[in-house]
Amino acid sequence: MKQKSGARVFVEILGWTLVFMSITAIAIAINVHHYVDTFLAAYRGYHFDDVFISLNIAGLIGLIYSLMRVKDLTLENHRRREAERNVEWIATHDALTELPNRRMLDKELAATAAEGGVQRTVFSVDLDGFKRVNDLFGHAVGNEVLKTVAERLKSTFPHESIYRIGGDEFIVITRGMDADTAAVAGQRIVQQLTAPIDADVMTVDVGASVGYAFSQGGADALNTAIMHSDYAMYAAKTAGRNRAMAFAPSMEQDVYKRARLEGALKRAVREGAIIPHFQPLIDLKTNRVYGFEALARWELQPGEFVSPGEFIPLAEETGLIVPMTEHLLRLCCREACHWPQDVGLAFNLSPVLLSDAVLGLRLIKIMSDEGFSPTRLELEITESSVMKDYPAAQKVLGDLIEAGARIALDDFGTGYSSLSQLSGFSFDTIKIDRSFVTAMNKGERQDKVIRAIVALGSGLGVKTTAEGIEDDEQLAYLRSLGCDIGQGYLLGKPMPAEAALRFMQEREEGATAATPVTEGKAANMVTPLPNKLRRA
């Protein structure tokens, strides 16, 4: 039922009072007292004045009561309007940071339709590493981080519009900035948000990727600028995070390309279309096959391969890395079961997987399902992935080490690590990054780095593997330094599973190591397999 407004009730009461007074006046005019007197003469106990005064007192009480009702109703209406305003606030604001939300942005966008010609700059801000903070330290710490981020944005832009439009996404809209000022402002956001944040009882670090775009005009132009700033933010993320980038038209193409690739990757992972190829690891002392490194291969269409450098980061960002890694390990175990027992399997583990505490146990289960012993497995991880999230990595790797797996530090020399941290971490192999081997013949410095890494390996009692060996000179030199294992196109390119079996057979038959086996050539080889290596 609709409530009457205070003013309306007041008018009604006033109306009734006037009616009452009019009736009294008419009664006086038509000599009603005469009839009343006659009536009272019949009932002697009453006096006309008494009755008149009583009626007036009753009217006054009615009026006072009515005025009080009007006051109550006005108050109630005020409260109602307040509550309505509160509901509106809740619907258009983020309760945690108290910043306006996406709904508010949409509302304000609709309102800007009328204001043409205003120059605005839209900044899309996305935190880097926020999910990791949330997963590792819990939502309470995550919430503190978001509140601090909001505070820092508010203090950086005290007079501008700031919105929280998603979990860790913010939008800032400023007026009247030129390209130079916007570049400085973008940089300031990055600086502000990369500074350490005190959350709960700890200090955490997150970063920010910022994209920005300009709009001159009403709602449509502003909407486009929001989309463009988002593209630029993705470009900043892809370019290495913790940076601010202005929108450029080519970024739009990149986003479409990425979206298409993401869809195709989802399908490929679902259909198990990503398979391992195997690159030989050669024991430089005995010249025998020490093992194979599994490298993921995705053939988008016949003959067209997508590089792992392109799809692995995408798989990591989208979470597809988890089912992809599990599927790859299963296929690798199946293949490795056809290899001689002393030939190992080197398997790459992406850094993002190391924060999944039960990953180790799941991988052990896969190996057990496939009848593959974890003692033949060497997991390749990068030094920075371990150092970044030491406790989580220790849990995952601890489970695998306990089951008998070995650990190799991949791309050694390219990350950051302190020797004290390294010595406190259990690993079995150091893989010298390809860049050092490639640059080896070019300068004395690179030589010294390799020499030092080999010495470090022997000092710590772990094996050293050199990646990217492409010529005989590199091979001979690495051998002379005492490097244990060699890997590179000279010794064998990554090849399909069938070719890996043939590769071992050829080496057994004394084929020279200097005859490189390529991915293309290997697939076409038709040499019959020896019984020992034939598939069941």
Q: Which one, of 511, 463, 512, 458, lies nearest residue 484 by Cα? A: 463
489 lies in the binding site for Ca ion (CB under 5 A)? no
280 lies in the binding site for ligand C2E (CB under 6 A)? no
168 lies in the binding site for Ca ion (CB under 5 A)? no
Grouping H, G, I as helix, E, B as strand and the rest as coil, residue 294 is strand
C-beta of 100: minimal distance to ligand C2E in Å?
40
Q: What does the alpha-carbon distance between residue 514 and residue 519 come to, in Å, rounded to a whole number? A: 16
From the number of C-beta atoms within 10 Å of its C-beta (0-12, 13-18, 19+), residue 172 rates as buried
DSSP one-letter code for 30? T
Which tokens hold the place of 409?
A: 């530090």
383 lies in the binding site for Ca ion (CB under 5 A)? no
128 lies in the binding site for Ca ion (CB under 5 A)? no
**Cβ–Cβ under 8 Å, residues 129 and 141:** no
Say which entry of ligand C2E, Ca ion, none residue 309 contacts (CB below 5 to 8 A, set by partner kind).
ligand C2E
Q: What is the phi/psi pair of residue 359, to 5°?
A: -60, -45
Instruction: Enumerate residues 375-434 that contact ligand C2E by CB under 6 A.
Output: 380, 410-411, 434
Cβ atoms within 10 A of the Cβ of 379, count? 25
Q: What does the alpha-carbon distance between residue 45 and residue 43 come to, in Å, rounded to a whole number? A: 6
C-beta of 498: minimal distance to ligand C2E in Å?
18
User: In sequence order, what are the beta bridge partners of 162?
Assistant: 172
C-beta of 401: minimal distance to Ca ion in Å?
18
Say which entry of ligand C2E, Ca ion, none residue 302 contacts (CB below 5 to 8 A, set by partner kind).
none
Q: What does the alpha-carbon distance between residue 202 and residue 137 come to, in Å, rounded to a whole number? A: 9
Instruction: Enumerate residues 317-376 that contact Ca ion by CB under 5 A.
Output: 348
The DSSP code sequence of 413-443 is TSS---HHHHHTS--SEEEE-HHHHHTGGG-
155 lies in the binding site for ligand C2E (CB under 6 A)? no
User: In sequence order, what are the beta bridge partners of 279?
Assistant: 293
Say which entry of ligand C2E, Ca ion, none residue 413 contacts (CB below 5 to 8 A, set by partner kind).
none
Q: Which residue is nearest to Ca ion (CB)?
A: 380
135 lies in the binding site for ligand C2E (CB under 6 A)? no
Q: Which of 308, 313, 415, 482 binds ligand C2E (CB under 6 A)?
A: 308
222 lies in the binding site for ligand C2E (CB under 6 A)? no
Say which entry of Ca ion, ligand C2E, none residue 488 contacts (CB below 5 to 8 A, set by partner kind).
ligand C2E
Q: Which of 6, 457, 488, 496 binds ligand C2E (CB under 6 A)?
A: 488
CA 391 to chain centre: 21
Instruction: Enumerate residues 41-80 that contact ligand C2E by CB under 6 A.
Output: none
Q: Which of 104, 225, 236, 312 binds ligand C2E (CB under 6 A)?
A: 312
HSE-CB of 247 using CA atoms within 13 angstroms: 20
Nearer to Ca ion, 383 or 467 (CB): 467
Which residues neighbour 151 within 8 Å (Cβ) at sequence distance 6 or greater?
none
Site string for ligand C2E, 325-364 (x = CB under 6 A): ---x-------------------x-x--------------
User: In sequence order, what are the beta bridge partners of 431?
Assistant: 465
Q: Which of 254, 411, 428, 471 binds Ca ion (CB under 5 A)?
A: 411
C-beta of 431: minimal distance to Ca ion in Å?
5
Q: What is the 3-state secondary structure (H, E, C) of 257-283?
A: HHHHHHHHHHHHHHCCCEEEEEEEEEE
Say which entry of Ca ion, ligand C2E, none residue 356 contacts (CB below 5 to 8 A, set by partner kind).
none
Interface stretch with ligand C2E, choices 107-115, 283-291, 303-311, 502-510 (CB under 6 A): 303-311
DSSP one-letter code for 375? G
Nearer to ligand C2E, 213 or 294 (CB): 294
172 lies in the binding site for ligand C2E (CB under 6 A)? no
The β-bridge relationship of strands 119-128 and 169-175 is antiparallel
Say which entry of Ca ion, ligand C2E, none residue 129 contacts (CB below 5 to 8 A, set by partner kind).
none
C-beta of 280: minimal distance to ligand C2E in Å?
10
Nearer to ligand C2E, 172 or 352 (CB): 352
C-beta of 151: minimal distance to Ca ion in Å?
42
Q: What does the alpha-carbon distance between residue 378 and residue 291 come to, in Å, rounded to a whole number? A: 9
Give the residue carrying structure tokens 């980038």.
245
Q: What does the alpha-carbon distance between residue 236 and residue 255 come to, in Å, rounded to a whole number? A: 12
Question: Which residues in this chain contact ligand C2E in the complex, by CB under 6 A?
Answer: 279, 294-296, 307-309, 312, 328, 348, 350, 380, 410-411, 434, 467-470, 487-489, 494
Question: Which residues in this chain contact Ca ion in the complex, by CB under 5 A?
Answer: 348, 380, 410-411, 467
